[in-house]
Structure 1
């Protein structure tokens, strides 16, 4: 059974930490509270590379590291968790800059509990979709790497829209041999047509 996602609360205000921890616990989500950026970074660093599912709620104004400094250290870990900044009115521009630098979003205080819970749920959903796409891309890359040199040649011809007969002439092999390689390529790549093959490889390049 896959463990439920963690909600990491990083805030140097104990009342905020306790309140948010209670909120997520009441909704059936596991939370983990950290009283500073250094404590958070040190605490999670050992999880790499098996990060699992989590969302980070990061306060902008903290000591000794600000939210932005903490986020910079977090990014160096190459951790995929979405980061949601919690900000006061005067720090909105800072939070916007953080989003431009890779944070998932920010939420301005004061916020409603349901609003925060909904935003966290959206972040978890987006992160899950991204992980699924990454796993799919990794499988395609592995499949590509498993093709023989001749299969790669046939693949290139298929992607140019050439028919089996033309491919056979171009490569100096029989049409039956082309059909054999084509079937192997489709099986390894998990596709049923040249169009689907082109579509999957096109997504891999983005």
Structure 2
């Protein structure tokens, strides 16, 4: 996992606001990069860099909402804080549905933004840690045999050994043998933990990301 210091990316076509936000956020010890529009941000942003995005809605060229949509298309889930001087309820709803973690109207108190930035940075840290954990699980699952994959899929659905044996037309003893191998390969001690990791992996990477 990228252990680089988090960076707050500020995207606003008002240079004075960019500078003001940069100085404010740097005061709490975070790195800041500013961009005067959505397209320059897209051209330079590296998704492996931890941090969050502070984004103005109304900008020339690509709007903040359009940038959100583009990030979603690219499957980039950087925590995003929307700031705007022209906020209304429908706009807030639209940005939150698109994945924004906060919606702040200008003018705002400095501490309101700083608290939101710190929450967003922590959210990004948790997201990246979860992805790293599930990536390791995914890698271990690539070592399963075809039969073990079949047994695991049914275990994840909550089916008991007896039902799995019946569905796969094998003995319950064989199911138990495969279950033990699956747990060992997954590096977990219980089916409950296996189910939790499997669901987390599928949520993060999709079904195609797991051994089938």
TM, length-normalised to structure 1: 0.79
Deviations 1:73-117 (A, max 9, x none): 333333221111101254453232111122222111111111111
Q: CA deviation at 1:22?
A: 0.6
Q: Which has the higher contact order (CA 8 A, sep 6+)?
A: 2
Quote the residue 1:19 is aligned against.
20
Verify the 8 A CA contact 2:9 2:34 in the aligned structure 1.
yes
Q: CA deviation at 1:130?
A: 2.0
Q: CA deviation at 1:129?
A: 1.7
1:171 aligns with 2:201: no
Distance 1:56 1:153 in 2: 41
Q: 1:63 to 1:185 in 2, by over 3 A?
A: same
Quote the residue 1:149 is aligned against.
146
Distance 1:144 1:100 in 2: 33
Q: 1:12 to 1:143 in 2, by over 3 A?
A: same
Higher Cα radius of gyration? 1
* 1:1-206 map, 5 Å: 2-44=3-45, 47=46, 50-155=47-152, 160-162=159-161, 171-172=170-171, 175=173, 180-204=177-201
Tell me the C-alpha RMSD between the 2 structures. Answer: 2.9
Deviations 1:119-156 (A, max 9, x none): 01111112222222223333333333321133335546
Verify the 8 A CA contact 2:9 2:35 in the aligned structure 1.
yes
Number of aligned positions between the proteins: 197
* Larger displacement relative to structure 2 (31-40 or 70-79): 70-79
SS of the residue 1:93 aligns to: helix
Query: Structure 1: which 4+ aligned runs deviate by more than 6 Å?
Result: none
TM, length-normalised to structure 2: 0.77
SS of the residue 1:192 aligns to: coil
Distance 1:34 1:76 in 2: 21
Verify the 8 A CA contact 1:41 1:73 in the aligned structure 2.
no
Q: Which runs of 5+ in 2 are unaligned?
A: 204-212
